[in-house]
């Protein structure tokens, strides 16, 4: 039949048309492959150049209402604990009688509390680039982590109220006023030592001197009983401002109670301030700037301690708890020294070396701070006591920082509370302790590891994500280059290939009725003319038809070129 002739002997014109169609399809696919290859390679190169991890981290760690960091700041989930160790005086009567020349003490503890910090009324000022809040601090006693219940342990300690009032009178009043104070205090029957339960010592005990002072001077002594933790953790309406805009000082303090320094330590303005009384630029330790410079020291501000404390860079290592890269800092050995740049100005009644006077922060009471067990203090003061066993490993303070994000990994700050006794000749009630610094207790504020959500975030960002991102970048670049190379090669050197006939019969393709009618007309015309090949016009029309064939129509092309000889 004529149809058989049409299938068997493709004309030169038809073969040329098929070549053109095959070239067009291949060229289109080559251009697409080249485009995709270039796109993938560009994406990989851009990712390598801009480091998408930094962009995602910056967005995720942005301080905005409702963000992860905002919630962490409002309700810190770091588990912070305070271990309290109290000094019990074991030879008080022997010392007061003169039978023994050295005071003997032994520490009792620990009494452990969980320190719960919240920041209320957080407000972010985007225009100024600051954040303001009202800090709140509470203690929760943890019996299971303590040596005993605070109600069940009794110790003998110096009478804080009596010694504080006597020293205050010695500092502020003249001889005759001190003499009057002496007779008044003696008439009240107060003793130099008191037997107190730990609960009374921490949260307050009644003393007639405090009761009278509270009645006569309620604006100054605004409490009816005196307790160390009760005063250190008294609830006050305080406020703080934190820097956000300056990336090198981000999360540092700008002010506390609307002042950039400690007025109690002599702050007047920033130009004349000292590291001791300057709050601006110091950190509370909740967060530090990202990419913190290696070797740069850290200044930690603790409101209860009433000053700044310097921490010096020690080493870079892997954190034992998290496996992350970390910077280790320790409290500077001279942090409490009178020769330290962080020493506060003092002109009268200055404490011995190694002690810091914070009396102005606590009603004028002669409270003095030092390192535990009088570590790194004046040897003369150490010689007055038996039972002081300073150990740099046990009593030292440290701060461990993950520098990329600026997250604390662990820290421990250890401080001792003492009474610096001074005496006026008119008031000899404290004569047995004249010019001595009496140890009362020491505490360790510590956090051993970050909360689980912070640890997971740090590991994802620092351990898992970087190799995955690098792998993805390499794959994108390699695949992109391969695809681009293939596409370019196929465009530059195209290959024409006539699809050979297949042995198996081509599947029957159902065509639309209009197509069948058109084919029938073509075949009838071919039979009527005895199949002399199409003229040029017909050939052009067929070329247009063939050029519209997609790659999926390859079997239809096979049908056109496959044949059996007549």
pLDDT tens-place string over residues 22-43: 556 566 777 777 787 788 888 8
Mean confidence (pLDDT) of the chain: 80
Between CA 253 and CA 243 the distance in angstroms is: 6
CA 246 to each of CA 275, 290, 323, 455: distance values in angstroms, whole numbers, following the listed order: 20, 11, 30, 26
Q: What torsion, rounded to 10 degrees, do the Cα atoms 20, 25, 31, 33 define?
A: -150
Between CA 217 and CA 105 the distance in angstroms is: 34
116/29 same-domain check: no
- In DSSP terms, 331 is beta-bridged to 311
140/39 same-domain check: no
CA gyration radius, the chain: 43
pLDDT of res. 548: 45
Q: Is position 173 within any domain?
A: yes
Task: Give the DSSP letter of residue 287.
Answer: -
Q: Which is nearest to 404 in space by CA: 288, 283, 290?
A: 290
Q: Give yes or no for residue 140 having a pLDDT over 90.
A: yes
pLDDT band at 279 (very low <50, low <70, confident <90, very high): very high
Q: Which is nearest to 210 in space by CA: 230, 238, 233?
A: 230
94/173 same-domain check: yes
Burial class (CB in 10 A: 0-12, 13-18, 19+), 211: middle
Task: Give the DSSP letter of residue 552.
Answer: G
Residue 336 or residue 36, greater confidence: 336
Cβ partners under 8 Å of residue 236, min gap 6: none
pLDDT of res. 563: 38
Average pLDDT of the segment spanning 303-314: 88
% of residues, the chain, pLDDT over 90:
33
Burial class (CB in 10 A: 0-12, 13-18, 19+), 491: middle
Q: Is position 477 within any domain?
A: yes
Angle at CA of residue 53, ends 51 and 59, nearest 5° = 115
Q: Is position 67 within any domain?
A: no
Q: Which is nearest to 131 in space by CA: 139, 120, 123?
A: 123
Instruction: Residue 369: give the domain boundaries.
Output: 78-450
pLDDT band at 457 (very low <50, low <70, confident <90, very high): confident
38/104 same-domain check: no
CB 286 within 8 Å of CB 243: no
Alpha helical stretches, state H, 206-321: 208-216, 228-232
136/101 same-domain check: yes
CB 381 within 8 Å of CB 403: no
% of residues, the chain, pLDDT over 70:
80
397/277 same-domain check: yes
- Give the position of tokens 């701070």: 369
18/142 same-domain check: no
pLDDT of res. 530: 43
Q: Give yes or no for residue 521 having a pLDDT over 50.
A: no
- In DSSP terms, 313 is beta-bridged to 329
- Give the position of tokens 């219940």: 149
Average pLDDT of the segment spanning 101-125: 93
Judging by DSSP bridges, how do beta strands 103-125 and 385-386 pair with one another?
A: parallel
Residue 276 or residue 31, greater confidence: 276
489/438 same-domain check: no
Preceding omega of 110 cis (within 30 degrees of 0):
yes
Q: Is position 428 within any domain?
A: yes
Query: Which pLDDT tens digit goes with each residue over 381-397?
Result: 999 999 999 998 899 99
Between CA 532 and CA 530 the distance in angstroms is: 6
Q: Identify which of 168-177, 219-228, 440-449 has the greatest average pLDDT.
A: 440-449
What SS3 state is found at 127?
coil
pLDDT band at 14 (very low <50, low <70, confident <90, very high): low
Kindly state the tokens that stand for 215: 């009645």
Q: Give yes or no for residue 102 having a pLDDT over 90.
A: yes
Average pLDDT of the segment spanning 211-217: 65
Q: Is position 70 within any domain?
A: no
pTM here is 0.76
Query: Which pLDDT tens digit goes with each residue over 36-70?
Result: 778 888 888 888 788 788 788 778 778 888 888 88
CB 394 within 8 Å of CB 385: no
Q: Is position 306 within any domain?
A: yes
pLDDT of res. 11: 53
CB 188 within 8 Å of CB 209: yes
Q: Give yes or no for residue 515 having a pLDDT over 60.
A: no
Between CA 109 and CA 84 the distance in angstroms is: 6
pLDDT of res. 402: 93
262/217 same-domain check: yes
Residue 350 or residue 84, greater confidence: 84
pLDDT band at 266 (very low <50, low <70, confident <90, very high): confident
Phi then psi for 303, rounded to 5 degrees?
-60, -40
341/230 same-domain check: yes
Between CA 464 and CA 458 the distance in angstroms is: 9
pLDDT of res. 527: 46
Kindly state the tokens that stand for 4: 């058989």
Q: b/e for 393-416, b at 16 or more Cβ within 10 A?
A: eebbbbbbbbbbbbbbbbbbbbbb
pLDDT band at 215 (very low <50, low <70, confident <90, very high): low
pLDDT of res. 557: 43
pLDDT of res. 549: 44
Q: Is position 178 within any domain?
A: yes
Residue 209 or residue 283, greater confidence: 283
Residue 323 backbone class (left: φ over 0; alpha: ψ -120 to 50; beta: rest):
left
Q: Which of 416, 450, 484 is the last residue of a domain?
A: 450
Please count the structural domains in the chain: 2
- Give the position of tokens 């000292």: 274
Residue 206 backbone class (left: φ over 0; alpha: ψ -120 to 50; beta: rest):
beta
Length of the chain: 566
149/272 same-domain check: yes
Judging by DSSP bridges, how do beta strands 325-331 and 398-402 pair with one another?
A: antiparallel
pLDDT band at 155 (very low <50, low <70, confident <90, very high): very high
Q: Give yes or no for residue 379 having a pLDDT over 80.
A: yes
Three-state helix/strand/coil letters over 520-537: HHHHHHHHHHCCCCCCHH
Q: Which of 401, 417, 450 is the last residue of a domain?
A: 450
360/499 same-domain check: no
Q: Which is nearest to 57 in space by CA: 418, 434, 358, 460?
A: 460
What SS3 state is found at 334?
coil
pLDDT of res. 454: 87
Task: Give the DSSP letter of residue 283.
Answer: B
Average pLDDT of the segment spanning 442-457: 90
pLDDT band at 554 (very low <50, low <70, confident <90, very high): very low
Q: Is position 260 within any domain?
A: yes
Residue 348 or residue 174, greater confidence: 174
């Amino acid at each position: 039949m004529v149809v058989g002739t049409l299938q068997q002997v493709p004309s030169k014109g038809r073969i040329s048309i098929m070549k053109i169609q095959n070239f067009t399809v291949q060229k289109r696919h080559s251009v697409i492959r080249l485009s995709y290859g270039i796109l993938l390679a560009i994406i990989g190169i851009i990712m390598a150049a801009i480091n998408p991890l930094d962009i995602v981290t910056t967005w995720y760690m942005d301080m905005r209402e409702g963000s992860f960091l905002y919630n962490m700041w409002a309700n810190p989930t770091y588990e912070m604990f305070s271990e309290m160790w109290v000094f019990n005086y074991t030879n008080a009567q022997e010392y007061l009688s003169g039978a023994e020349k050295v005071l003997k003490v032994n520490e009792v503890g620990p009494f452990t509390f969980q320190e719960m910090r919240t920041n209320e009324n957080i407000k972010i000022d985007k225009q100024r680039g600051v954040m303001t809040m009202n800090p709140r601090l509470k203690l929760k006693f943890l019996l299971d982590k303590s040596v005993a219940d605070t109600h069940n342990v009794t110790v003998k300690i110096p009478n804080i109220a009596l010694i504080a009032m006597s020293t205050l009178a010695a500092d502020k009043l003249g001889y005759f006023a001190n003499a009057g104070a002496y007779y008044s205090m003696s008439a009240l029957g107060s003793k130099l030592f008191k037997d107190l339960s730990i609960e009374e010592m921490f949260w307050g005990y009644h003393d007639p001197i405090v009761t009278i002072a509270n009645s006569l001077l309620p604006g100054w002594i605004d409490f009816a009983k005196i307790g160390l933790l009760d005063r250190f953790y008294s609830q006050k309406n305080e406020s703080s401002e934190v820097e956000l805009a300056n990336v090198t000082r981000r999360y540092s303090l700008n002010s506390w109670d609307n002042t950039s320094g400690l007025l109690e330590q002599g702050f007047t303005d920033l130009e004349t301030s000292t590291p001791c009384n300057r709050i601006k630029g110091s950190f509370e330790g909740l967060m530090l700037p990202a990419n913190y410079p290696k070797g740069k020291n850290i200044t930690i501000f603790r409101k209860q301690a009433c000053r700044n404390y310097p921490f010096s860079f020690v080493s870079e290592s892997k954190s034992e708890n998290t496996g992350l890269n970390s910077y280790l800092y320790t409290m500077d050995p001279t942090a409490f020294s009178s020769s330290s740049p962080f020493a506060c100005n003092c002109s009268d009644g200055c404490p011995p070396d190694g002690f810091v006077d914070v009396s102005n922060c606590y009603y004028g009471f002669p409270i003095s701070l030092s390192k535990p067990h009088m570590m790194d203090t004046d040897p003369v003061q150490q010689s007055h006591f038996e039972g002081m066993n300073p150990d740099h490993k046990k009593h030292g303070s440290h701060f461990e920082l993950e520098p990329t994000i600026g997250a604390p990994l662990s820290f421990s700050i250890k401080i001792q509370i003492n009474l610096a006794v001074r005496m006026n000749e008119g008031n000899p009630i404290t004569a047995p302790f004249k010019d001595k610094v009496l140890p009362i207790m020491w505490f360790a504020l510590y956090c051993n590891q970050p909360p689980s959500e912070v640890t997971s975030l740090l590991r994802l960002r620092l351990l898992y994500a970087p190799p995955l991102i690098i792998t993805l970048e390499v794959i994108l670049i390699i695949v992109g280059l391969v695809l681009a190379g293939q596409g370019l090669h196929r465009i530059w050197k195209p290959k024409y290939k006539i699809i050979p006939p297949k042995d198996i019969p081509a599947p029957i393709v159902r065509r639309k009725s209009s197509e069948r009618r058109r084919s029938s007309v073509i075949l009838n015309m071919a039979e009527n003319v005895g199949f002399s090949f199409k003229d040029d016009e017909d050939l052009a029309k067929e070329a247009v038809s063939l050029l519209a064939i997609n790659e999926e129509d390859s079997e239809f092309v096979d049908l056109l070129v496959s044949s059996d000889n007549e």
